[in-house]
Each structure stands twice: as structure tokens, then as C-alpha cells.
Homo-oligomer: A and B are copies of this chain.
Amino acid sequence: MDFDRIKSRLDALLSAGKKAELRGALNMLNEVDIAEYLETLDNEKMLVVFRLLPKDISAEVFSYMDNDQRTRIMEAMDDSEAIKLIDDMFIDDAVDFLEELPAGVVKRMLQGCDEKKRQLINQFLRYPENSAGSIMTIEYMEFHLGTTVGQAMAEIRRTGVDKETINTLYILDDSRKLLGTVGLRKLLLATDDRVVEDLMNTQVISVHTTDDQEVVADTVRKYDLLSIPVVDHEDRLVGIITVDDIVDVIEEENTEDFEKMAAMLPSDDEYLKTSVFTLAKNRLPWLLILMISATFTGMIITHFETVLSSAAGIGVALTACIPMLMDTGGNCGAQASTLAIRGLALGEIELKDIGKVLWKEVRVALILGVVLALVNFLRIWFFTPYDKTVAFIVSLAMFFTIIIAKSIGCTLPLLAKAIHLDPALMASPIITTLVDAASLTVLFTFASTIMKV
């Protein structure tokens, strides 16, 4: 059933005031769909429907809402109801939500929570944003050395329902150091009297609390993990991160790269929910920097004024070819830089490959340069009023522009990485500005040399 039909049925029940039936209907939906439905309602109705949800469902629905919606609900609730809700949430979801609230509200909420939960949340709120610590969860199954399979299974039956995952069980020593993991599958296949350390896999891949979420995502992706343990600086287990949360991290990091590559400051918010001023603020800095950098391109043109104002319309002919030359150069550079940035992000290219990458791009540029210069020569000769000399000058400039563009395009992201800048910044906009200057210099140098003006 598609969302519009779901919504119209729920709306009908809601406006008829049939609460019991509405509760029944909501029961048939996935939490994600309920959150989506709530988003379409006004504050008052949203709270009515939200209160109809069973307690465990409402906490999960809440975790799927965006911050706007959450704030709307929290504002409509009184404090005790809000505190109850936070208490029912998984700790990582609660922290995720509290991070977005004003500090005063967080303090009020936490005073209402029980002591243990408050301490935990406070600890989580201290991890740097986007670190492994800030996205981990503490709802995992841990066992100490000497636990038998029978004891472990009993414990899983007793407390497993509240854990984020029971697929992987973590084995600790007395100082909480992570010694190894046991898959639930292995536990199921073993006899009750064996001890967990016999079944333990000691080749554990883990991350540190302070590792960036990008590192976590790369590790999970590389090793095809379903969850990864998070340890502190003394190798003690403090949490785990499950792959479903990693999927969100990956999309977030990709969006960030897309934004940076289009000369914008990255933003965590959904486009339609971001204010016009915030959008403008994120876009202005790079536009300004790039616009002012383009002054140099203007200076190059002014410098070659004599060529432009030379006789017989040659100046206009060259001017008419500038946009094509600049765009082709920019596109060539963007292709090379995009592949370099992407290769770096996926770990397919490393810093030490810079020679290989450059040699590859130069050969690609030679092929593309010959083809494009040739097509361009024929195009100018046959389809424009300009003569063969102009066609030759422009095509020669085109050839060298492509070589320069590809070389700049592929090396800049790698150099950025070398000095610990984000390679994604060295994308189309900056490459285009640099290639513009190069292509104009090449064009006018050839023109003034060949035509001797």
C-alpha cells in the first residue's frame, strides 16, 4: 500500500475521533512509516496520534523523526512525559536527539532521568561530534572469561531483548579489555558445558572512541562487518556500532563530499528544511573566493589586449572561442579530479600512487587532446567564418589545455590529502578557475607568436 493511501485512511480515522481503531491501524505500520505520517500532521494532531502509540513503539518512532518534528513534539509535552520518552529510547538515539537541544533543556531533561542513565548520557555527550564514541551504542552482550555456553544462552534469553544486536557477543577480561568475539551462531552450535573463550575469535577488528565516523564506515565497509566494537585508549570495550547506523554515516559523508565538490560548506540538514539564509551562507564563501580569483584571468586577457584588438576580426574570433576552450578545459579537469577524489575516498588510490595516476591521466589526455583538437579544427574550419589560422591556434591551445587540465585535476586532490586538507575541496570549481588561467595564457601566447602581433 503506498503512503498516500495509508495517510488518507489514518486521516479519516483521526478526524472521526476513532482512537481505538486508529491505534489498531497504526499497529499495522512500520515505525518509519508512522514517523513519516506524523510529519504530515499539525502539532496538536501529531501529539494525539503519538500518545496512542505503545510505549516501546513511540520511542522508536521518535528516533526516526527529524529534529524539527522532535522539537515540535517535545514542546507540546510536559517535562515528565518528555523524560519518560528519553528513558525509553536506546542510548544512542537519546544522545543523538539531546545533542540538538539547547543546553538548558538538556539539563532539565537529564535531571529527571535515573542516575545511571544520566551519567551515561553525560559521558556520551562529551565525545567529539561525528566520532565513533558519539554514534556508538552500549546495548550489547558481554561475557567474562569462564562463562559457559549454557550460562551465556540463559543470559541472552534474559536480557537479549533490550540489546541492539545479539549476533556478536563480546568477551572481556576482568579489566574490561576486549579479548575476542563469539558469533551467536557458534554459541548455538556448541554444547552447554563449553566455555566461551574456546569459541572465541581473537582477530577482532575494532575502532577507538575518538576515531572519526568516516574511519568507522571505511573499516566496516572494508571488512563487511555487521557490527564493530568501540574501545577506549586502554583497549577496554565501551560500545558497539551496528551496520545500519553505518549506512546513514556513509550517505552523510557522501553528501558532504558532493557539497564540497560543488563549492559549498557542508550541512547536515535536509534541503527543504534548511532556511534560505543558511543556504546562502553556506554557498557565499567559495563563490566570493572563486570570483575574486577570477580577477587574474581578467588580467591575463587585459595583458594580451594587443592580440584582441588586432586587425581583421581575429580578436573577436579568439574571444568567441574562449568559452568553449575554458569549458572543455574545466570539464577535463573535473573528470580527472572527480576520479581522484572518489578513489581516495574509497581507498582505491593512495598518496604513493601519485606518479601512476599522473602518468595515466597524461596518456588519457593525449588521446582526448588529439580527438577533441581535431574535431574542433574541422568545426571551426567548416562551420564558422574564421580561417584556418584561427582554427589551428585554437585547436593547438585546446590540446595543451587538456593536458594541463588533466594534470592539475588529478594531482591537486592528492596534494591536498598530503597536507591533510579534504581532497573533495579540489574539485571542479577550483580546478576550473586554475584551468581558465592556463588555457587563456596558452591561447594568447600561441596567437601572439603565430600571428606575430
State whether the Cβ of A105 lies closer than 8 Å to any Cβ in chain B: no
Secondary structure at the A interface, as helix, strand, loop or mixed, is helix
Name the distance in Å between A315's Cβ and chain B's nearest Cβ: 7
In the assembled complex, which residues on chain B have CB atoms less than 8 Å from the CB atom of A291?
Answer: 324, 327-328, 372, 375-376
State whether the Cβ of A426 lies closer than 8 Å to any Cβ in chain B: no
Please choose the segment from A37-45, A73-81, A333-341 that sits at the chain B interface, where 4 or more of its residues have CB less than 8 A away: A333-341
State whether the Cβ of A91 lies closer than 8 Å to any Cβ in chain B: no
State whether the Cβ of A221 lies closer than 8 Å to any Cβ in chain B: yes
How far apart sit A294 and B220, CA to CA, in the bound complex (Å)?
45
> A330–B185 contact, CB under 8 A?
no
- Using A246-B247, A302-B316, A368-B287 as known contacts, say yes or no to A258 and B327 having CB atoms under 8 A apart: no
Name the distance in Å between A323's Cβ and chain B's nearest Cβ: 4
Residue of B with least CB distance to A363? B276
State whether the Cβ of A188 lies closer than 8 Å to any Cβ in chain B: yes
Please choose the segment from A111-119, A130-138, A160-168, A174-182 that sits at the chain B interface, where 4 or more of its residues have CB less than 8 A away: A160-168
In the assembled complex, which residues on chain B have CB atoms less than 8 Å from the CB atom of A321?
Answer: 298
> A287–B332 contact, CB under 8 A?
yes
* B-contact 0/1 string along A130-159, CB 8 Å cutoff: 000000000000000000000001001100
* B-contact 0/1 string along A209-244, CB 8 Å cutoff: 000000000001111111000000000000000111
Taking CB atoms and an 8 Å cut-off, the chain A residues in 354-411 that contact chain B are: 356-357, 360, 363-364, 367-368, 371-372, 375-376, 379, 383-385
The number of residues on chain A lying at the interface, defined by a beta carbon within 8 Å of a beta carbon of chain B, is: 116
Name the distance in Å between A137's Cβ and chain B's nearest Cβ: 13
State whether the Cβ of A58 lies closer than 8 Å to any Cβ in chain B: no
Which of the listed residues A184, A259, A316, A322 has the most CB atoms from chain B within 10 Å of its own CB?
A316
Q: A29-B203, A32-B222, A272-B357 are in contact. List 11 more A-B contacts (CB 8 A).
A: A30-B223, A32-B224, A224-B244, A246-B247, A258-B258, A262-B334, A262-B339, A272-B348, A284-B368, A297-B324, A298-B384
Between A and B, 13 residue pairs with Cβ closer than 8 Å are: A184-B184, A221-B248, A259-B338, A279-B360, A283-B364, A284-B371, A284-B372, A297-B320, A298-B384, A301-B316, A305-B316, A319-B322, A334-B428
